[in-house]
Amino acid sequence: MKVKLCGVKRPEDIWYMNEFQPDYVGFVFAGTKRRITPQTAAKLAEKLDRNIQKVGVFVNEQPETVAMVAKMVGLQAIQLHGNETEEEIAYLRTRLPGCSVWKAVRVQDERSLSAALRLSADFLLLDSFSDSSYGGTGKIANLAVIQKANIARPYFLAGGLNSDNIRTIAASLHPYGVDISSGIETDGVKDRKKIETIMRIIRNIL
């Protein structure tokens, strides 16, 4: 199972990533709590192990800006976490050849999931629904809707995942990958011990 650890902001976060080797690391270019500037992300990315892929998280950003930031930071994937359209996905594919395009879906009901499954994104990232936020809420996604949908294509699962629940949730849904942010934080800061614990669980070391 692939692992994305999201919301890195500090040099210490990069040290933790290099130590525990997730498959992907997420830089958030939206919101307020975990937002990072492209300039800071580019500096941090220089210190990141080359075996770890860099993902940029954007919410309703202009496609031209997404492409510019992706090139500046050296992103291998872009995660669209807003209301982006199929046209925007197609545009980014043209502007960023070789860069994977992910589309996050705030799963509210079967209809929201069915609409997302028609998009041509390389991966869907299924997250919890919130009226006030596009992600990073710490709330668990609507697992019943996801399980009932019997999704045939690979997807990432996000939303409220932590060391207490990830084993059970992953075993019931078998996602291609998981995306964790608040579950590896203490008081809004990445916590080395929590990262170590959850990575050991996921890698079946415990």
Active site residues: 6, 127
95/93 Cα distance (integer angstroms): 6
58/102 Cα distance (integer angstroms): 10
CA distances, 77 to each of 71, 97, 169 (Å) = 11, 11, 25
The 10 Å CB-count burial string (b at 16+, else e) for 157-189 is bbbbbbbeebeebbeebebebbbbbbbbbeeee
CA distances, 126 to each of 3, 51, 112, 129, 196 (Å) = 14, 25, 11, 9, 24
CA atoms within 13 A on the CB side of 17: 32
